[in-house]
């Protein structure tokens, strides 16, 4: 999971980042509200982990911006020292999905993050296949079929296809795609992402004939979405 974390305490932030990355997540750490808002305007994430008292904009201000301006439904987890009932109600009412009170405990943090992930994509976690007729992806055999015919793909084309299908309808930044398919440590240029997207689009024949469209979003990334299939003239 790609996580954007807002925490101005470097010691606390470093510890949580280490815990989460050891749990298999990719973490982007920001120390001010304006910094995370700026990045969230040009990058996509799977979860936001927010402290309340930070420079520039509070965690609650960031939350309201995400829900009201960005209109994002990405899960938001608060991790803060504010522990009154009023604080918790305020954050949840503003759109937070969960709330943790400091000091943060490692196992609890990982469990809550995993719970939010399952809630966000429950079907993906449970099924060995992704079926969006006429497409079928066998996750165990790493086979993609279109109209019951296997589609020849490289490893990266297959992994890109799975990531796009798992995030159907979501606007995904190039950085998000790059990290999820090539890994955060890989030196991958946006041109590489665009080239692979183009190949996948061609091989899977996205369009009205097959009911899916893979659309570029200028200066951001891509979105795979359902569209009405063509109907034969009567």
What is the span of the domain harbouring residue 178?
125-226
Number of structural domains in the chain:
2
Q: How many whole angstroms separate alpha carbon 115 and alpha carbon 195?
A: 34
Q: Do 154 and 216 belong to one domain?
A: yes
Residue 140 resides in a domain: yes
pLDDT score for 189? 81
pLDDT score for 186? 65
Q: Do 66 and 147 belong to one domain?
A: no
Q: Do 21 and 78 belong to one domain?
A: yes
pLDDT score for 233? 53
pLDDT score for 234? 47
pLDDT score for 174? 95
The 3-state DSSP class for residue 11 equals helix
pLDDT averages per 10-residue partition of the chain, 234 residues: 96 97 96 96 96 92 94 93 92 94 96 91 68 95 97 97 95 95 80 95 96 93 88 52
Who's near 100: CB < 8 A, 6+ residues apart?
77, 78, 79, 80, 108, 109, 112
Q: Do 109 and 198 belong to one domain?
A: no
The 3-state DSSP class for residue 223 equals strand
Residue 186 resides in a domain: yes
């Amino acid at each position: 999971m790609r996580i954007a974390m807002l925490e101005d305490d470097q010691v606390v932030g470093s510890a949580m980042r280490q815990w989460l990355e050891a749990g298999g997540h990719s973490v982007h750490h920001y120390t001010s509200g304006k910094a995370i808002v700026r990045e969230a305007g040009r990058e996509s994430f799977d979860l936001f982990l927010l402290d309340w008292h930070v420079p520039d904009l509070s965690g609650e201000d960031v939350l309201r911006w995400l829900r009201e301006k960005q209109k994002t439904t990405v899960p938001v987890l608060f991790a803060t020292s504010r522990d009154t009932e009023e604080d918790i109600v305020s954050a949840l009412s503003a759109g937070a999905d969960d709330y943790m009170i400091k000091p943060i405990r490692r196992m609890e943090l990982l469990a809550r993050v995993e719970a939010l992930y399952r809630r966000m994509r429950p079907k993906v976690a449970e099924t060995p296949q992704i079926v969006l007729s006429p497409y079928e992806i066998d996750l165990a055999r790493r086979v993609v079929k279109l109209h019951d015919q296997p589609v020849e793909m490289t490893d990266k084309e297959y992994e890109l296809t799975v990531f796009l299908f798992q995030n159907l309808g979501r606007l995904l930044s190039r950085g998000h795609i790059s990290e999820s398919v090539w890994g955060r440590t890989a030196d991958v240029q946006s041109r590489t992402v665009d080239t692979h997207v183009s190949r996948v689009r061609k091989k899977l024949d996205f369009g009205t004939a097959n009911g899916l469209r893979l659309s570029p979003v200028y200066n951001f990334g891509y979105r795979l979405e359902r569209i009405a299939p063509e109907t034969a003239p009567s």
